[in-house]
Structure 1
Amino acid sequence: MKLDQKPLAWVSEQSNAMQRLREGGGAPGLAHMEQIVGKSGREILEAMMSGALPYPPMSETMNMTLLEVGEGRAVFQGMPLLRHYNPMGTVHGGWFSTLLDSALGCAVQTTLPAGRSYTTAELSINIVRPAWQKTGPLRAVATVVHPGRQMVTAEARVEDEQGKLYAHATTTCFILNAVTA
Structure 2
Amino acid sequence: MLEKRLAVPPILSMLDFGPGAVEKGRANCSLVAEEEHDNPPATSTAVYATLLDSAAGCAVQSALPEGTTYTSLDPSMRFPHPMTADTGLGRAVGTVIDGGRPTALAQAELTDDSGRLLSTHKQLHDSACPMSPPAVP
Letter of the structure 2 residue corresponding to residue 145 of structure 1: I
The residue that corresponds to 2:21 in the other structure is: 68
Structure possessing the higher radius of gyration over alpha carbons:
1
Structure 1 residues 179, 49: closer, same or farther in 2, change over 3 A? closer
Instruction: Report the RMSD for the aligned CA atoms in angstroms.
Output: 1.7
* Rounded Cα–Cα distance in structure 2 between residues aligned with 1:130 and 1:156: 16
Letter of the structure 2 residue corresponding to residue 65 of structure 1: G
Unaligned runs of 5+ in 2: none
The residue that corresponds to 1:107 in the other structure is: 59
Unaligned runs of 5+ in 1: 1-47
Contact (CA 8 Å) 2:76, 2:122: kept in 1 or not? Answer: yes
The residue that corresponds to 1:92 in the other structure is: 44
Matches within 5 A, 1:106-145: 106-145=58-97
Letter of the structure 2 residue corresponding to residue 58 of structure 1: I
Matches within 5 A, 1:24-39: none
Question: Which digits, 9 at most, give the CA deviation of each residue in 1:111-153, with x for residues without a partner?
Answer: 1112211101111110110111111110000100001020000
* Rounded Cα–Cα distance in structure 1 between residues aligned with 2:95 and 2:75: 14
Pick from 110, 120, 126 the counterpart of residue 158 of structure 1.
110
Contact (CA 8 Å) 2:59, 2:94: kept in 1 or not? Answer: yes
Alignment of 1:80 with 2:40, yes or no, is: no
Q: CA deviation at 1:63?
A: 2.0
Q: RCO (CA 8 Å, sep 6+): is it higher in 1 or 2? A: 2
Q: CA deviation at 1:179?
A: 5.3
The residue that corresponds to 2:11 in the other structure is: 58
* Rounded Cα–Cα distance in structure 1 between residues aligned with 2:131 and 2:28: 23
Q: TM-score if structure 1 supplies the norm length?
A: 0.69
Pick the structure with more strand per residue. Answer: 2
The residue that corresponds to 1:26 in the other structure is: none
Q: TM-score if structure 2 supplies the norm length?
A: 0.90
* Rounded Cα–Cα distance in structure 1 between residues aligned with 2:53 and 2:4: 22
* Rounded Cα–Cα distance in structure 2 between residues aligned with 1:180 and 1:102: 15
Structure 1 residues 180, 78: closer, same or farther in 2, change over 3 A? closer
Q: Could you say what secondary structure the match of 2:9 adopts?
A: coil
Q: Could you say what secondary structure the match of 2:42 adopts?
A: coil
Contact (CA 8 Å) 1:63, 1:80: kept in 2 or not? Answer: no
